[in-house]
C-alpha cells in the first residue's frame, strides 16, 4: 500500500480535467475556435491546449499551418472577445 497524502476524489478529477482541457470553458473554447475559423479549416486544425497565456493549435498540413499563421492575430482577438478578457497573448502551432 502506498503511503502519502490523501486527496479527495473531486480534487483529483478536477486536476485531470484541467490537465486534459476537458472543462466546460475549454470545451466551449474549442467549439468557438472551430466555428471561428470556418468549416474548411476546422477539418484540418484543432485547438489542442490552453496553457497560461498561449493557445496550442494542431494542424494536419503545412498549407493550413500557413493559413493559421496569417490569421493568428484575428484568432487571438476573437478568442479573447469570446472569453471576455484579454487572457490569450500567443498562439503556437503543432503540426501532426
- In the chain the domains, ranked by start, together with CATH numbers, are 9-95 (3.30.70)
- CA-nearest of 56, 67, 40 to 89 is 56
Whole-prediction pTM: 0.70
CA pair distance 17, 28, nearest whole angstrom: 14
Grid-cell match 503511503, residue found: 3
Residue ranges for the chain with pLDDT beneath 70: 1-3, 10, 13-25
CB atoms closer than 10 angstroms to residue 64: 21
pLDDT value at position 53?
84
Summarised one tens digit per residue, pLDDT across range 64-89 is: 999 999 999 999 999 888 888 888 89
pLDDT value at position 5?
76
Amino acid at each position: 500500500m502506498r503511503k502519502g497524502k490523501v486527496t479527495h476524489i473531486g480534487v483529483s478529477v478536477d486536476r485531470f480535467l484541467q490537465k486534459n482541457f476537458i472543462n466546460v470553458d475549454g470545451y466551449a473554447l474549442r467549439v468557438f475556435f472551430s466555428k471561428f475559423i470556418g468549416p474548411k479549416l476546422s477539418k484540418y486544425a484543432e485547438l489542442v491546449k490552453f496553457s497560461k497565456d498561449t493557445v496550442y493549435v494542431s494542424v494536419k498540413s503545412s498549407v493550413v499551418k500557413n493559413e493559421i499563421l496569417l490569421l493568428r492575430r484575428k484568432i487571438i482577438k476573437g478568442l479573447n472577445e469570446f472569453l471576455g478578457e484579454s487572457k490569450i497573448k500567443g498562439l503556437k502551432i503543432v503540426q501532426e
